[in-house]
């Protein structure tokens, strides 16, 4: 009896399920018509300052007039398409970003320089830190001066 593998029904069921999932995914991805146009989601960089957030999105070879930026609530959608003159050629860019509540979506600025889309999202004035003047300190100093002067 040494050397014979033990029968493990639970492990066999999970192995069968994994294999069925793999086959289904392979079949589903190989279906004709499932291949879509190439979409590029370039990584973007976020630079933060106390006054604003700046997003830098590389868009090499895409003309600024082919870029569409839309705000819907706190969702920023960016779409761009570069056509190489060939029906299936070119590149597409589509990205939706949820903007944090503390950024002012009404004052978004966009610039396109040297293949880089730069979006500036300012921080709301109500969220920025502000200095609070303390009253009473000057009054206490004034009273102290009055007490020390004859």
The CATH number linked to 89 is: 2.60.40.790
Q: Is residue 19 part of a domain?
A: no
- Confidence label for 14 from pLDDT (cuts 50, 70 and 90): low
The answer to whether 44 and 65 are in contact (CB under 8 A) is no
If one compares 5 and 98, the residue with the highest pLDDT of the two is 98
Q: Is residue 63 part of a domain?
A: yes
Average pLDDT over the chain reads 76
Q: Is residue 95 part of a domain?
A: yes
- Confidence label for 1 from pLDDT (cuts 50, 70 and 90): low
Domain that includes residue 73, residue range: 39-122
Q: Is residue 113 part of a domain?
A: yes
User: Among 72, 94, 70, 74, which Cα is nearest to 82's?
Assistant: 94
- Confidence label for 109 from pLDDT (cuts 50, 70 and 90): very high
In terms of residues, how long is the chain? Answer: 150
- The yes-or-no verdict on residue 38 having pLDDT over 50 is no
Q: Is residue 12 part of a domain?
A: no
Percentage of residues of the chain with pLDDT beyond 70: 65
**Hey, is 130 helix, strand or coil?**
coil
Q: Is residue 142 part of a domain?
A: no
Residues 6+ apart with CB under 8 A from 96: 75, 76, 77, 78
Tell me the C-alpha distance between 121 and 138, whole Å.
39
- The yes-or-no verdict on residue 89 having pLDDT over 80 is no
Q: What average pLDDT does range 38-51 have in this prediction?
A: 73
Q: Is residue 53 part of a domain?
A: yes
Among 21-25, 27-31, 36-40, 64-68, the least confident range:
36-40
Structural domains of the chain, count: 1
Q: Is residue 7 part of a domain?
A: no
């Amino acid at each position: 009896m040494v050397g014979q593998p033990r029968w493990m029904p639970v492990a066999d069921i999970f192995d069968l399920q994994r294999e069925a999932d793999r086959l289904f995914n392979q079949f589903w991805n190989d279906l004709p018509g499932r291949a879509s146009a190439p979409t590029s989601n370039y990584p973007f960089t976020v630079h933060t300052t106390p006054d604003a957030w700046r997003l830098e999105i590389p868009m090499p070879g895409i003309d600024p007039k082919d870029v569409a930026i839309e705000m819907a609530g706190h969702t920023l959608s960016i779409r761009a398409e570069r056509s190489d003159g060939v029906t299936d050629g070119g590149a597409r860019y589509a990205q939706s970003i949820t903007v944090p509540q503390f950024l002012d979506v009404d004052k978004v600025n966009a610039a396109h320089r040297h293949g880089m889309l730069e979006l500036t999202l300012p921080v709301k004035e109500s969220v920025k830190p502000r200095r609070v003047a303390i009253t009473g300190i000057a009054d206490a100093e004034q009273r102290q001066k009055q007490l020390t002067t004859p």
